[in-house]
């Protein structure tokens, strides 16, 4: 019974805590925060500092796990930008890095001229809707993929099909 409850919630959007996009320097640009306990400006400063520190001595930071809070952060660096995805530890991470890269590519394509200018970050607020739609599509695709895999039992599917035909 407990596993049934767990299975039903593994594609729950509430397992995604938020997304923050900032410059490598940690300068905050935009966020889609779904958990009100997360401060996106502090988070972008923290990850920006880690990125700057890590670049010289540790390499790129791609993942941070905070065990006491049961969250995980997937970090993508591209176009001199950083995208931080904050996830519950139970979040299904299948393809999440590719989705994060896609979101960062989209952001850069839309705003590449504005990123280096000294402008108000509210200029990027319209990107929140794009992020949210991408998240919904991601969960929808995961759910559909699982439903399709439940219909296919490999060799046995063909054997059952042939038995029914006879």
Residues 49-76 have pLDDT tens digits of 776 666 655 556 666 666 666 778 888 8
Using CA atoms, how far residue 121 sits from 41, 82, 155, in Å, is 11, 15, 54
Which residue do the tokens 């063909």 mark? 158
The domain locations on the chain are: 2-165
What is the per-residue pLDDT across 1-55, written as a single tens digit (0 to 9) for each?
Answer: 344 344 434 556 677 888 999 888 888 899 888 877 777 888 888 877 776 666 6
Mean pLDDT of 106-132: 86
- DSSP strand pairing (16-23 vs 71-78): unpaired
CATH number for region 2-165? 3.30.450.70
pLDDT recorded at residue 6: 41
């Amino acid at each position: 019974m407990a596993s049934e409850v767990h299975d039903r919630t593994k594609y729950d959007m509430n397992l995604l805590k938020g997304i923050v996009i900032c410059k490598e320097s940690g300068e905050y640009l935009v966020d889609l925060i779904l958990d009100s306990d997360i401060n996106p400006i502090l988070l972008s400063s923290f990850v920006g500092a880690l990125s700057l520190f890590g670049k010289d001595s540790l390499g790129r930071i791609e993942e941070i796990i905070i065990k006491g809070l049961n969250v995980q952060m997937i970090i993508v660096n591209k176009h001199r930008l950083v995208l931080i995805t904050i996830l519950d530890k139970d979040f299904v991470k299948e393809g999440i890095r590719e989705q994060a890269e896609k979101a960062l590519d989209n952001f850069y394509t839309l705003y590449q001229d504005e990123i280096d200018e000294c402008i108000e970050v509210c200029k990027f607020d319209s990107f929140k809707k794009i992020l949210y739609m991408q998240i919904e599509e991601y969960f929808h695709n995961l759910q559909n993929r699982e439903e399709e895999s439940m219909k296919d039992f490999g060799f046995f599917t063909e054997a059952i099909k042939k038995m029914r035909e006879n």
